[in-house]
Amino acid sequence: MAALPVLETERLILRPTAPEDFEAWAAFMADADASKFVGGPQVRSIAWRGFLSMAGAWAMQGYAMFSVIEKSSRKWVGRLGPWVPEGWPGTEVGWGLAREFWGRGYATEGATAAIDWAFDNLGWDEVIHCIAPDNTASQGVARRLGSYKQRGANLPAPFEAVFVDVWGQSREEWRSRAGRT
């Protein structure tokens, strides 16, 4: 298997999930506000299963959401990046950040690097973002990324009752908007 990627932006390091990330991950998933749109608050044992699912996706398919590390403090900021569970509405780059890091532009900065990486390395033709209709903060991130609302969808089982707006754009739209080649 190829070496796992590490991406750097001006302020962030994006790398695969590592054991030292779990305490911050568990705290993020226990925070009702921070986890509201990524499944809701979870006890440690359930957060552990989600954490290992992300690590397992890296091991089994060579990609998953990155752990986001703030360069200046070395703190775990959250997780974002490519995510395509079985039955998902498309090839997603999603994000979820710990509350203390909201409002700093980290979701947009990290997602930009993750989208570039997904198009360049995974061969995706489009990227989507599954966003709850009342999640105005993530809608703002999607707009800053150049994505637009395309359709609605229900998530796959066991979350089939969850309706999301599917935002996104094609590889061509992404590259032409940003002057990327």
Predicted TM-score (pTM) of this structure: 0.95
Q: Are 180 and 135 in contact (CB under 8 A)?
A: no
CATH number of 7-178: 3.40.630.30
- Residue 24 in contact with residue 76, Cβ under 8 Å? yes
How far apart are the C-alpha atoms of 67 and 60, rounded to whole Å?
17
Domain boundaries, the chain: 7-178
List, for residues 54-112, the tens digit of each pLDDT value.
999 999 999 999 999 999 999 999 999 999 999 999 999 999 999 999 999 999 999 99
Query: Cβ distance 1 to 62 under 8 Å?
Result: yes
Reduced to 3 states, what is the DSSP secondary structure of residue 50?
helix
Q: Alpha-carbon distance 83 to 129, whole Å?
A: 10
Phi then psi dihedrals of residue 114, to 5 deg: -70, -40
pLDDT tens profile 140-164: 999 999 999 999 999 999 999 999 9
